[in-house]
Amino acid sequence: MTAELRRSPLAHLEDRMRAARGGSLRELPFLTMISVRVVPGSAAFDRIGAALGGGLPERVADTTRAGAHTALWLGPDEWLVVSSADPGPLVADLALALAGDSGTVVDVSANRTILELSGAAARQVLEKGCPADLHPRSFGPGDAVTTTLGPVPVLLWQSGPSTYLILPRSSFADYVARWLLDAMTEFASPEVR
């Protein structure tokens, strides 16, 4: 019953995003997001990595992917696991891997939503309001960084050559989506030379 009542943070903008020009913008709602805090190099770190099937990334901006799970590096002892898997069993598996060691495994799925921006001008759209260096020499597919888009803190993840996933907190999702829609309009027409 609750699944029928569930409404994504950007359901009200779905038609506007579908009609957007200058790129493609859509919401990827209801993905599982698990916050993991654990001491790097510890036995629990290794067990959690094994439970995910691909390890936890160990450097700034790195991600690791295995099957339905992608782990994004957020800080020296903090990761966000994004997955299409059911949160209940995933949280249980990761909590079991952590058992006996210090750290946390918390389901934060309702905390954020995901916007997918793609197209030839996707990087230029983001560069209009993101202070991170998004040039391909510094930021490429598989990289993720905590930054801002306009005044809003977001997690920015480049998932493909011209595809970016933007993870704002749900309470800021409307603002971020409208900001992106506005920024995309500049690229809706052919370039004038």
pLDDT digits (tens, 9 = 90+) for 95-108: 999 988 999 999 99
Mean pLDDT computed over 56-74: 95
**Count of beta carbons in the 10 Å neighbourhood of residue 187:** 18
| Nearest alpha carbon to residue 77 among 111, 45, 109, 33 | 45
As a whole number, mean pLDDT of residues 79-99 equals 95
Distance CA(97)–CA(34), nearest Å, equals: 14
Distance CA 184, CA 20 (A): 8
Helix, strand, coil percentages for the chain (3-state, nearest 5): 30, 30, 35
Specify the pLDDT at position 188.
84
Cβ atoms < 10 Å from Cβ of 172: 19
Token code pair at residue 172: 């800021």
Confidence of residue 1 (pLDDT cuts 50, 70, 90): very low
pLDDT at residue 86 greater than cutoff 70: yes
Quickly state the pLDDT bin for 190 (edges 50, 70, 90): confident
Residue 11 has pLDDT above 90, yes or no: yes
- Is residue 85 predicted with pLDDT exceeding 50? yes
Q: Which domains does the chain have, with CATH numbers?
A: 10-29+113-187 (3.30.1360.120), 32-110 (3.30.70.1520)
As given in the structure block, the two tokens for residue 128 are 């209009």
For the entire predicted model, the pTM comes to 0.93
Q: pLDDT tens digits for 143-165? A: 999 999 999 999 999 999 999 99
d(CA 173, CA 158): 18
pLDDT confidence bin for 189, thresholds 50/70/90:
confident
The pLDDT value given to residue 2: 65
Asked whether residue 193 carries a pLDDT value surpassing 60, the answer given is no
